[in-house]
Structure 1
Amino acid sequence: MKILIGDDHHVVRRGLKMIILDAYPKAFIEEAAEGATLLQKLKLQKWDIIICDISMPGRSGLEIMQIIKEQAPKIPVLMLSMHPAEHYAIRALKLGAFGYITKESASDELIQAIKTINAGRKYITQDIANMLVDENEDLFADNQPHKQLSNREFDVMKMIAEGKKISDIANQLSLSINTISTYRTRILKKMKIDNNADLTKYALDKGII
């Protein structure tokens, strides 16, 4: 089995690798600390599974997954995140992810997720299945303004709501300050919110932060 792990934290990559090798001692595992490296390695091997962190430097994990689906649509991608499933799982699955697990639950769920994906099925926990049901119900109730945001806009919205400065967000996402300011304006307009304080209140009410 050939597995590519993308995460910007060495300790996380090492931990995931140890978990996998304990169950699959003969597995061939490569690592990537950033999106650009992951995409380069994508072209060098025929991978059985790609495990990709949502929060990668530069391009987000969701953007990386979109590129993977364009360049190698048959390779299943398991999304990994420090964020609870309700924040990103539905977005990841809509883009074609074969599963979503949190870093907190990786020690318990990673091998089961790999086995499920190897069997050609998506790894969807009961919690995520319930969220999918709720998502369909929300289509008929226009009460979730943040779901109108693109994946990048959602990332920026979350960071603004957490109180991060525009310059810090720009640095984290490898974008210009003007670009982040444009995103902020677009986000406030789409969500019909007037300022950062109200955005933070909304994010707290919805459990986004």
Structure 2
Amino acid sequence: MNPVTDTGPAAPLRVLLADDHRIVREGLKQVFSDPANGLPEIRVVAEATGGTELLAQLSSRAAEDRPLDLDVVLLDIAMPGQDGLELLQCLRQRWPALPVLMLSTYPERQYAVRCLKLGAAGYLNKSADPDDMVAAVRKVAAGGRYLSPATAEALAQAMGPALSGPRPPPGGAPLGVAAIDSLSHREHQVFRLLSSGHSVSQIGAQLKLAVNTVSTYRARVLEKTGARNDVELALLARGHPLD
């Protein structure tokens, strides 16, 4: 006699949603709870509004390589405290088997490739269609990678500069895509604005940061990229699409 096979409904996919904007969290929970989305059901079982809270939530659920009662982490890039890119690297080191799907309002061409290189299972723009959001969660929970058409295009465009970017200066740090990819979220923001001709004071006003803080970020950007001044940053940016 053949054994009885369980054909019941699929177990719900359990999501930790990390975003500091309540309206975003509530909106995503509404999308995932819509009965029209079918099975498997997606449930937000935990929420975090910052990096410290996110790491505490995960640590309380930790097993060796992934939290026991989670299938996916949805992580906003622009998180208070540690930014999303720094948190992504931390999560990949501590819980390598836990899929992380990045959330952002930034266009795919700015951050999608960086997120994938750092180990994200996908990149999801907050303006995406609800059906795409549901599909993204299901795909990464199943062990796949979610690539929207815009992300796939960004990956294709990144191949050219990665292969033919500027050569390293003699005795200096490497110039090119790899150096830009090493920048944190805030450093990358400063890099984009500097290379667009903004002054330190203008950047401070736009990002709501003290001038001294912006100067510190500028120094880090110069050190990591090997550029000597803002002109060289602008030249570097030409081979790395930013907008």
Determine the structure 2 residue equivalent to 1:14: 26
Question: CA distance change for structure 1 residues 94 and 42 in 2, over 3 Å: closer, same or farther?
Answer: same
Deviations, residues 39-76 of structure 1 (Å, cap 9, x unaligned): 11012233110000010011110111111111111110
Give the structure-2-normalised TM-score: 0.70
Q: Does 1:187 align with 2:210?
A: no
CA contact (8 A) 1:146 1:154 kept: no
**2: CA distance between counterparts of 1:134 and 1:207?**
9
In structure 2, the CA distance between the partners of 1:126 and 1:7, relative to structure 1 (3 Å rule), is same
Instruction: Say which is worse superposed, 63-72 or 106-115, in terms of deviation.
Output: 106-115
- 3-state secondary structure, aligned to 2:164: coil
Displacement of 1:100 = 0.3
Structure 1 residue 80 and structure 2 residue 80: aligned?
Answer: no
By how many angstroms is 1:83 displaced? Answer: 0.2
Q: Is the 8 A contact 2:19 2:75 kept in 1?
A: yes
Provide, for residues 144-187 of structure 1, a one-character-per-residue CA deviation record: whole Å limited to 9, x for no partner.
Answer: 8465222313133236557421895657xxxxx75642330242
The correspondence of residues 106-125 of structure 1 with structure 2, limited to 5 A, is: 107-125=130-148
SS of 2:163's equivalent in the other structure is coil
Q: 1 or 2, which has the higher helix percentage?
A: 1
Which of 160, 183, 188 is equivalent to 1:151?
183
Q: Secondary structure at the match of 2:109?
A: helix
**2:156 aligned partner:** 133
| Alignment correspondent of 2:45 | 29
> Is 1:5 aligned to 2:17, yes or no?
yes
Q: In the alignment, is residue 165 of structure 1 matched against residue 204 of structure 2?
A: yes
- Aligned ranges for residues 192-203 of structure 1 at < 5 Å? 192=227, 194-195=229-230
Asked whether 1:54 is paired with 2:77, we answer yes
Of residues 27, 44, 47 in structure 1, which corresponds to 2:60?
Answer: 44
> Please, what is the CA RMSD of the aligned residues?
3.1
Q: Which protein shows a greater Rg? A: 2
TM-score, normalisation: structure 1:
0.81
Shift in Å, 1:117: 1.3
> In the alignment, which residue of structure 2 is the partner of 1:104?
127
Match of 2:5 in 1: none
| Cα offset, 1:90, TM superposition | 0.5
Aligned residues: 203
State the distance in 2 between where 1:155 and 1:75 align: 28
Distance 1:187 1:126 in 2: 30
In the TM superposition, residue 195 of structure 1 has moved relative to its aligned partner by 3.8
CA contact (8 A) 2:16 2:48 kept: yes
The 1-side partners of 2:20 and 2:193 are apart by: 18
Alpha-carbon shift at residue 208 of structure 1 (Å): 2.6
Task: Tell me the amino acid that sits aligned with residue 158 of structure 2.
Answer: E
Aligned to 1:174: none
Mapped to 2, the partners of 1:203 and 1:11 lie a distance apart of 34
User: For structure 1, which runs of at least 5 residues remain unmatched after alignment?
Assistant: 172-176
The partner residue of 1:66 within 82, 89, 95 is 89
TM-superposed deviation, 1:30? 1.4
